[in-house]
Amino acid sequence: MSDPRRVVVAANWKMHKLRADALEYIHDLSTWIDDTMSDGEPGLEVVVAPPFTTLELAVEAKAPFSIFAQNMHQADQGAYTGEVSAPMLKDMSIEGVLLGHSERRQYFGETDEALAEKVHSAIGFGLAPMLCVGETNDQRKAGKAEEVVRGQLETALAEYPAEALPLLYVAYEPVWAIGTGETATPDIAQQMHAEIRLILAEMFGGDEAGRISVLYGGSVKPDNALELLSCPDIDGALVGGAALEVDSFSRIIEAGREVAKLRHGVTA
């Protein structure tokens, strides 16, 4: 039996926060983490993904959480006005990058094929890719949710090298639950997470798949986090709206912490 999976609680700031607000948030969250988890927390990881304009100050703050970017281009460099690349992020000491968020797919035409290239570029520079997948409302109503998610995983992770699997995170974010206040019930989420685990096992083998943290995202809030995170195949949360304030994000981290303690057999 492999080790229990890490629980990951991630904040996606999306296009929010000017520098002063970002600095205050990072300071307050760092203080809360230092006070609450003075001995570190086995099996729990906190991630914050600010927009590009506040990435550098987040890194320089040397905060007790991981800093991820929200997107990157697949090329190392070139004539791609407005884009940034994996080596540029690495150069700033960024640890990982969200890839394939549904807002990128929906508003910026991001395709699974481009994502396969982005995933390869990220791992080539040692960045951890957090690959987001999820179906729309229409796809779910048409009974195609699993097929859609399978297609997204199989294309974006095609030829993903086994030795880079420790870098990989997956986030299941049903598009109908993002920013809508409508959360997948723990049953619906668990069912899809179990399916994702199965697909990953087909692709990489059961042991390897058993080590990949699969996060849930879509209207996670302090009052539903514990129930969602307690599902056996849900290994954390990717949080948008409720992560914009330290007060509510820290309550979601608290839920992750409880689950991590149970999984890793730590007694309070």
Told to check if 238 binds ligand PGA by CB under 6 A, we report yes
Distance CA 211, CA 6 (A): 8
Residue number, 125 or 216, with CB nearest to ligand PGA: 216
Among 9, 239, 246, 260, binds ligand PGA (CB under 6 A): 239
Cα→Cα distances 14→51, 52, 70, 157, Å: 6, 10, 7, 24
Stretch that binds ligand PGA, among 22-30, 80-88, 144-152, 240-248 (CB under 6 A): 240-248
Q: Which is nearer to ligand PGA, 43 or 217 (CB)?
A: 217
Query: In this chain, which of 174, 218, 236, 256 binds ligand PGA, going by CB under 6 A?
Result: 218
Q: Which residues pair with 216 in a beta bridge?
A: 172, 237
From the candidates 101, 110, 135, 193, give the one annotated as an active-site residue.
101
Q: In whole angstroms, what is the distance from residue 5 CA to residue 2 CA? A: 9
Quickly count: other Cβ atoms within 10 Å of residue 146's Cβ: 17
Q: What are the beta bridge partners of residue 132?
A: 171
Helix (H) or strand (E) holding 217: strand 213-217
User: Quick check: 223 binds ligand PGA (CB under 6 A)?
Assistant: no
Active site residue 173: yes
Is 16 catalytic? The answer is: no
Tokens of 136: 């729309």
For residue 210, state whether it binds ligand PGA (rule: CB under 6 A). Answer: no
Rounded distance, CA 224 to CA 244, Å? 17
Closest distance of CB 54 from ligand PGA, Å: 17
Which residues of this chain interact with ligand PGA, rule CB under 6 A?
A: 12, 173, 178-179, 217-220, 238-242
Show which residues are catalytic.
Answer: 101, 173
